[in-house]
Amino acid sequence: MVNVRGQLSIEFIVVISGLLIILATITMPMYNQARADAEKVSKLADAREAANTITNALNTVYAAGVGSKQTVEYQLPRGVVKIYADVNVDGVDTTDNDVTPDNRMDVQIWLDLDGNGEWDNKREAIILLETLLSSENNENRVIVGDENFKVGSGLHRTTFTYEYRDGLRYIVISDIEVA
């Protein structure tokens, strides 16, 4: 009888250990996928918040007229490849879903969600928000100097200034600090 109880205890431990191993092999991939998805959603939310701040600043400066100025702060997540905001940015073509132009300039933040250092060229990897500014390339356009945007992750402080020079209207982006 003594040997039977010992054998039952060992068998019970082996069966429970096997069940725990099976449970771990099933749940670990699910956990890793859920963690990766949560990280991607967090990056997209941070990028959307930054794009919203930039869009609101451009709209405010444009609506206030020539001579207006606004400084904003926003946080960029890791993985931002490029920020676009100029008269030629309206809609986007991606490998999986296109956004057609609507004659309004867009603020676009392109993301690298897969970590290879390049934009993923998918609709899910771009934040696109429409501004009040026209995207038509004519004499009434407002030229935005989007080449001054920095894409490093962290806190950014950007000043938008609406100016009139040489017969053209500009929104100058300057005083960018990355902390």
For residue 68, give both structure tokens: 């207006």
Tens-place pLDDT, residues 99-152 = 888 888 899 999 998 888 888 888 888 999 999 888 877 677 788 888 888 888
Q: How confident is the model at residue 166 (pLDDT cuts 50, 70, 90)?
A: confident
CB 172 within 8 A of CB 161: yes
Tens-place pLDDT, residues 11-37 = 888 899 999 999 888 989 889 889 988
Taking residues 28-55, report their average pLDDT. 92
**Residue 89 has what pLDDT?**
84
* Residue 149, Cβ density class (10 Å: 0-12 exposed, 13-18 middle, ≥19 buried): buried
Tens-place pLDDT, residues 76-103 = 999 999 998 887 888 888 888 888 888 8
**pLDDT higher than threshold 60 for residue 1:** no
**Residue 179 has what pLDDT?**
67
Cα–Cα dist 109/131, whole Å = 14
**pLDDT higher than threshold 60 for residue 3:** yes
- In this prediction the pTM is 0.82
**Residue 115 has what pLDDT?**
83
Dihedral angle sign, alpha carbons of residues 92, 96, 52, 160: negative
**Residue 54 has what pLDDT?**
95
Cα–Cα dist 15/138, whole Å = 76
- The torsion defined by the Cα of 6, 12, 17 and 22, in degrees rounded to 10, comes to 150
